[in-house]
Amino acid sequence: MITDINNREKTATLYSEVRKTSQFLMPAQLDNSWNTDGAYDIYPVASLGSGKIFNGFESLSKYIIENKTVVIDGYAGVFWDKIQDNLQLCFEEKGLSVNWINTANLLKPAEQIDALVAPFLGEQASVWGTKTTLTLADLFTETITAQSINRSCDINIIIGTGSTLSGWDAPVIYFDIPKNEIQFRMRAGSATNLGADSLAEPFQMYKRFYFVDWVMLNNHKKAVLDRTAVIADGQWPDTVNWMYKADFADGLNQLSKSVLRVRPWFEPGAWGGQWMKKHIKNLNTDVVNLAWSFELIVPENGLVFESDGNLLEVSFDTIMFSNNKNVLGKHAERFGDEFPIRFDFLDTVEGGNLSIQCHPRLKYIQENFGENITQDETYYILDCEDQASVYLGFQDSINPAEFKNALEQSQASSKAIDIEQYVQVHAAKKHDLFLIPNGTVHSAGAGNLVLEISATPYIFTFKMYDWVRLDLDGNPRPINIDHAFNNLDFNRKGEQVQKELISLPQVIESAEGYQLVHLPTHADHFYDVHRIEFDSEARVNTDNVCHVLMLVEGEAIMVQTADGTKHRFAYAETFVIPAAAQSYTLTNLGSARAKVIKAFLK
C-alpha cells in the first residue's frame, strides 16, 4: 500500500531500473493519502462497486488452477517473465506441475521481422513512418498453431503476446499495459519492440511502436476481446490486478452512456514550463519542467477502474472497440474506432517558445503516413502571463523562398534568426482561441498554459525553427523544413490571419445567470467549440453527439447525466460526455461564475 509522498518516491527509485521517467508509477491500490481535496486528480477512476477487481498473483493463480488450461495474451511491453515467475511460485507452493509455452520462442528470427517491418519505418533519421498493413500473425512461425497441451501436467499455459493465435480452446487472460509505461520501459532498456533482439535509440523504438507494433497489437486486441475471460493490468513489475470480462464489459457500457475521464500523464520538454508543477497535486515536481499533459490523447491514454481500492487500467480503445456507437453517436460510422478529438496542455509558463511549426494537409498525411485524419488544431488560452503571445500566420510581406533560405541557413549554422520578420506574433490573454488548421505556421510563445483542442493525430509536427536549442538530453531536436514546405499555406498572411485564424466569440443563448458562447472554428476543422458560462446550473442535450469538456474558470462543478450518474470535476480536468448520455446537468460548486469549454463534432 502506497501511503505518502516519501513512499512514492522510494517506489519510483525501486523501479528506476525498469522505467525511465520522473513521474510516479500509478499505485495498484489507492488510499486516503491520494486525497486531492477536490482539486485536479491525476488518478481519476470509475468505481465498479465491491468485489470486482482482485489483487495479487495468488488470486490469479487460483483462477488458473480452476481452469487447468489457459491462454495468457497481451500487449508488447508486459514483463512476461515476471508474470510467469510469480505464478510459478504460487503453483509450486501447491505442488502442481506446469507446462509453460512462451510465444517469444515462436516468433520469426529478428532479422526476418526487421525485413518485414522496414517498409513501414521510412528513412532512418526520420521520426515518421507509415501505418503497417501487417498482422500480428505475420511475425510468428507456423509452429504457434502446433503447440499442444501436455495432459501429464496439472496446468498448461501458453503465455506472451499473440498467444491466442495458438488456437487453444481455453480461457483467455489478457494483460494490458498503458502506453506511457511502455515508453518509460523502452527508455530504461527493459522493453523493446516486438520481435526485436536488441535495443535501438528511443525515438526509433517509439517510431516502430507507433507505426507497426501498436497497429498490429490494437487489431489483435480487438479481435480477441470477445474471447477474453479475464482482463489484467500489467503495469506493476511485482503485482497484478485483474477482473472478469463480464464486469469489465459492464463497466465500459456504463461509461459509454454517462461520463468518463481518462488518466492523464505528464512529460517534461525543451520548452516546458512551471504551471502544472505548481497547480497539480501528487506529481513528482523534482523535474526541470513539465511541457505536456496528455489530457485526452486517446491513442496513449487509459481508463482506470476501481473496486475495493484496487485499480485496473485499460487502454481507451477498448471502449471504442465495444461501444463506439454509444460514444460517438451519429459520427460513429465516419470515425469508427478512432476517437477524433484531442485535449492536451502545453505549458510554457516560465518556460520557452514552442518550435515554429505546421501540420500536414489531409491528403499528405493520408498518402505519406497512413493516417485517416489530420492534425487540425486550436490553442485555447487557459492561463497566461502578462506578456504571453502566440505566433500565427505569415507577415504580409512573406517571401517563401527567402523564408526557406533563412531557415536552412539557421539550421546549418546554428544561428538564431528574427522569426518575426516572417511570422506574425499576437498577444495572448485568457480564454482566447487561436485557430490552426493544417498547413498553418504557428507556435505557442512563452508564458502560456495552452489547452490544445485538436483532431487526434498528434506526432505529425513539422518543425521549421526551434530557437537554436537542444533537447533535455543535449541533442538537437529534429527540423523538418522540406516536409513543412510541402504543406505550408502561404495565403494565411497579413490581415487575413486576424480575420480567419483568431476566433471571435459570439453569445448565441442567454438567460439570467447563464450564457452560451460560440467560439467559431475554421471551416477546415471538423469540430466546433462552445463555452458554457453559468452561475448555478446549466442543462445540455447531446443531440447524439459526443462532447469533450473542461472547467476553464471556476472551482469545481458537478455533472449529472440522464441516467443519474454524478461526477465532480475540478478546474482544468478534462471529461467526456458520450453521445448516448442524451443529456447532462452542470452544477456550479464554486462561488463565482463557472465557465466550461465544450468541443464537439460538427
Amino acid of residue 530: H
pTM: 0.96
- What is the spatial order of strands in the sheet that 556-561 belongs to? 537-541, 583-588, 556-561, 566-570
- What is the DSSP secondary-structure string of 308-338? TTEEEEEETHHHHHHHHHHHHGGGHHHHTT-
Residues 6+ apart with CB under 8 A from 152: 97
Nearest to 461 by CA among 571, 342, 310: 342
How far, in whole angstroms, is CA 466 from its chain's centroid?
Answer: 24
> How many angstroms separate the CA atoms of 378 and 527, rounded?
10
Count the Cβ atoms, other than its own, within 10 Å of residue 27.
Answer: 20
Helices (H), 68-127: 80-93, 110-117
Distance between CA atoms of residues 1 and 67, nearest Å: 30
pLDDT mean over 518-538:
98
User: Confidence band (pLDDT; 50, 70, 90) for 37?
Assistant: confident
Name the burial class of residue 159, with classes exposed (0-12), middle (13-18) and buried (19+) by CB atoms within 10 angstroms of its CB: buried
Does the structure show a pLDDT above 50 at 405?
A: yes
Share of the chain above pLDDT 70, in %: 97
Q: What is the percent of the chain where pLDDT is above 90? A: 93
The three cell numbers of residue 279 are: 497547480
Q: Name the one residue in this structure whose C-alpha cell is 493516417.
A: 371
- Give the pLDDT band of residue 1 (cuts 50, 70, 90): very low
The mean pLDDT of the chain is 95
Please state the rounded mean pLDDT for residues 73-93. 98
- Compute the distance between CA of residue 250 and CA of residue 252 in angstroms, rounded to an integer: 6
pLDDT at 7: 59
* Pair 463, 359: CB distance under 8 Å: no
pLDDT above 80: residue 464: yes
- Interior angle at CA 457, CA 293 and CA 285, nearest 5: 10
Q: For 310-368, how does the pLDDT look when each residue is reduced to its tens digit (9 = 90+)?
A: 999 999 999 999 999 999 999 999 999 999 999 999 999 999 999 999 999 999 999 99
**95 has a pLDDT exceeding 50:** yes
Q: What is the pLDDT of residue 126?
A: 86
The pLDDT of residue 11 is above 90: no
C-alpha closest to that of 522 among 353, 374, 329: 374
Q: For residue 2, name the pLDDT band (cuts at 50, 70, 90).
A: very low
Residue 602 reports pLDDT greater than 80: yes
